[in-house]
Amino acid sequence: MEVRLLDLISQYDGIRSEIEDAVKNVLESQYFILGPKVEEFEKTVAGYCGVSYGVGVASGSDAILLSLMALGTGPGDEVITTPYTFFSTVSSISRLGATPVMVDIDPETYNIDPGQVAGAVTGKTKAILPVHLFGQTADMDRINEMASERGIKVIEDACQSIGATYKGRKAGSLGNAGCFSFFPSKNLGGCGDGGMIVTDDEEFASNCRMLRNHGGRERYYHDVIGINSRLDAIQAAVLAVKMKYLDGWSSGRRKNAEYYGRELSGINGISTPVIAEGNVSIFNQYVVRARDRDGLKRWLGENGIGCEIYYPVPLHLQKCFSYLGGREGDLPIAEKAAKETLALPIYTELTETEKAHVKDMIKEFMEGLD
C-alpha cells in the first residue's frame, strides 16, 4: 500500500468542475493581474480573519518581505524570529539589509519561546516575526505585550496556519499584520504561487498595495522603490472556490490528528504533537518526535509511506546565514527538534485503512528498536 505525504489529486477530484469553471471564467475575461477577482478574494480572506484589509501578493515569502518593507525595515534594524521555520521567514529580513535575531523555541509547540524573545529585545529591534508553525499559533499574548510596551511591531508568519485560532481569534489577526502563503501544499493552496497580507491598519495596507506594484499609487509615478508582487486572477478564482472548503478540510485534518494521537501516543519512543491551551490547530503538518528518527524515516519510505523532515537544518546553522555567527549549540532546542521530528500524512482524504497502515508500520519499527 502506498500512502503519500500529501495527495492533492484526491482533493482536486472532489472539486474538479468548480475549479475548472472558475479558471475558465478568468480566461474568458482575459483580466489576469489583480482586478475584481483578486479584490473580491482579498475581502473574503480579510473577513474570514476578522480584519479590515487583505493585500494579495505573489507568494507567502513576498507577503513577509513586503510587510517588513512597509514598516521601513532596513540596515541597522533587528528583527527577532525563530530558526525553526521555512527559509524565507529569515531571508526576508536579510534581503532588506536588516539583521535577523534568531531565538530558541518551545520544545513542545516548536514555536518561538516568548521568554527568549524578551532577552533579545534591544534598542534596534524593529519587529518581532513569530511563525505559527505546523498549523498552531505562537504564544501571542506574551509577544504582543512585550512589543506594545516598547513600540515594536509584530508581523505574523501565518503561512502554515490560515484558519488556526488563538483564544478564539484567527491567525493573521493577532499582530499588526499577518502573512499567508497559498503555495499548493498549504491548507489553502492555489494552482501556483500566491500569498496575502492581512491587517487592520489602513495605512499599512495602503503601503503594502503600493509596494507590491513597483512603489506607485498611480501608474508610472513611483513614490518609493517597490517590487512586482501581485496575486493573479486565476489564483484568486481557484482560491475562492477552495476557501469554501477550508474549514472542513482543516477539521478533517484535526480528526486524523486525533486518531494518530490515540494510536501513536502509547508507542515507546514516539511523542505526538502538543497543542497549547487556547489553540485550535489546522495541522498543516502532523509532526511527531521519534527515537531513531532517521531510521524510522527510511523504514516508512521503504514501506511506501510518505514522510518528511521539517526542517533538517535550523536556519542559524545554514551556510548562507553563517555571516551572523550562529554556531552549533547556540539554540539547542531547535537543533534537537531538527534531529528528532518527522511529519506524517495528515490530509483530510486519508482513508481509515491508510491511517491504520501508517500506525501499524510505525509500531512495527518502534517495537523492533527495543
Ligand X SMILES: *Cc1c(COP(=O)(O)O)cnc(C)c1O
Residues at the interface with ligand X (CB under 6 A) = 59-61, 85-86, 88-89, 131, 157, 159-160, 181, 183, 193, 195
Exposed / middle / buried, residue 85 (Cβ in 10 Å: 0-12, 13-18, 19+): buried
CB nearer to ligand X: give 66 or 350. 66
**Secondary structure (3-state) at 339:** helix
CB nearer to ligand X: give 68 or 131. 131
Give me 268's grid cell: 515507546
Omega within 30 of 0 (cis) for the link into 311 = yes
Select from 60, 72, 78 the least CA-distant residue to 204: 72
Select from 81, 79, 33 the least CA-distant residue to 56: 33
Select from 133, 49, 109 the least CA-distant residue to 315: 133
Q: How far is the CB of 157 from ligand X (least distance, A)?
A: 5
| Residue nearest to ligand X according to CB distances in the complex | 60
CB nearer to ligand X: give 135 or 267. 135
Q: How far is the CB of 366 from ligand X (least distance, A)?
A: 28
CB nearer to ligand X: give 11 or 187. 187
Q: How far is the CB of 209 from ligand X (least distance, A)?
A: 19
Q: How far is the CB of 186 from ligand X (least distance, A)?
A: 6
Maximum Cα interatomic distance, the chain, rounded to a whole number of Å: 69
The answer to whether 336 and 105 are in contact (CB under 8 A) is no
Q: How far is the CB of 17 from ligand X (least distance, A)?
A: 27
Exposed / middle / buried, residue 274 (Cβ in 10 Å: 0-12, 13-18, 19+): middle
Q: How far is the CB of 308 from ligand X (least distance, A)?
A: 13
CB nearer to ligand X: give 41 or 299. 41
CB nearer to ligand X: give 79 or 267. 79
CB nearer to ligand X: give 105 or 270. 105
β-pairing verdict for 165-166 and 169-170 = antiparallel
Q: How far is the CB of 363 from ligand X (least distance, A)?
A: 30
Q: How far is the CB of 359 from ligand X (least distance, A)?
A: 26
The strands making up 279-280's β-sheet, listed across from edge to edge, are: 169-170, 165-166, 279-280
CB nearer to ligand X: give 133 or 358. 133
Grid look-up 513542545 returns 108
Ramachandran region, residue 51 (left: φ > 0; alpha: ψ -120 to 50; beta: rest): beta
CB nearer to ligand X: give 114 or 195. 195
Grid look-up 555567527 returns 325
Q: How far is the CB of 200 from ligand X (least distance, A)?
A: 21
Q: Where are the alpha helices (DSSP H) in the chain?
A: 8-29, 36-49, 60-70, 87-95, 114-120, 140-150, 202-212, 233-264, 293-302, 332-340, 352-369
